[in-house]
Amino acid sequence: MKGIIDVWVTPFTPDLLGEAVANSTEWKDGIAKWHMEERYQGKTADEFTTMMDEVGVERVLIVGAKAYSAIYHKMDIEWPISGIIDLVQSRPERFSGLYSINPYYRMDEVREMERVIREYGFKGAQVTAHGYERAIDDRDLYPFYAKCVELDVPIEIVVGSIIDRAPSEFGRPTRLENIAMYFPELRIIATHIGEPWVHEVISIAWKYPNVYIATTAHLPRYWSPSLLQFIDSSRGKGKVMYGSAYPTVPMKEALEQIESFGLKDDAKRLLLREVALKVFKLE
């Protein structure tokens, strides 16, 4: 099999990662709660690509997720877009970018998303709606979805529960149906596997040809049996793609666990590479 594609990696350099963590409250608390401090020390671009080579990862999509705190009513995570652009441009054959959306900025943010995608070749968009107290099918997000259709790029939408304290209902997977029906041309990736509604996200990915699932933010050993069965079945082949949300999920550990599942060869190829190539048009 050719190299693995990881569809979600957090900006990983010590300066970008360190500044984002230092300025956060909820994210920093989550890192401490789950004892992830060592993982969040950061790596240089050279160190990171060496790690990619060691585990067989060919390309990563870098997601500087913007997250608003519903508890503290302030931005909890925000990344300088210039830093992400510089990181992507440092290794264009290995790193690609996704533009993360802040819906509070409305049309100004739509225009900025378009600028970054057009000028710097970002491969799509991403949104974590929960903390903004917006459901994923809220009208404030529809202009972004429409622009993604116009630009012919996919969007990663965080579904289910997240580490931040915000109502999980905002990311209920059944809300994807409204988006998928309104925008049948929009390639939708439901990230974070939809916990605790994994069965819902599976049924919607199976039902709608433009909806996919990404395995981000959960170590494979915690994936539900129903998700594994879906990945390895004729119903689910071609609908699920691998993502780590590194450094939350270490690449080496995650890929070793996937290897231990004994997936069919074609299912594994689709999960680890081919679905992402198709959806993000990486070839």
Residue 271: strand, helix, or coil: helix
Measured between alpha carbons, how far is residue 135 from residues 3, 104, 157, 211, 240 in Å? 35, 13, 11, 17, 23
CA distance 163 to 76: 12
* Side-chain-side CA neighbours of residue 108 (13 Å): 3
Q: What is the pLDDT of residue 2?
A: 86
CA distance 113 to 144: 8
pLDDT value at 1 more than 80: no
CA distance 62 to 79: 12
For the chain, domain boundaries: 4-280
Reported as a single tens digit per residue, the pLDDT across 121-171 is 999 999 999 999 999 999 999 999 999 999 999 999 999 999 889 999 999
The answer to whether 191 and 214 have CB atoms below 8 angstroms apart is yes
Measured between alpha carbons, how far is residue 51 from residues 60, 223, 251, 252 in Å? 12, 24, 9, 9
Q: Which amino acid is at 270?
A: L
- Looking at CATH, the fold of the domain delimited by 4-280 is given as TIM Barrel (3.20.20)
The answer to whether 88 and 150 have CB atoms below 8 angstroms apart is no
Bridging pattern class, strands 57-63 and 240-241: unpaired
User: 203 Cβ partners below 8 Å, 6+ apart?
Assistant: none
Reported as a single tens digit per residue, the pLDDT across 166-201 is 999 999 999 999 999 999 999 999 999 999 999 999
Q: The pTM is what?
A: 0.97
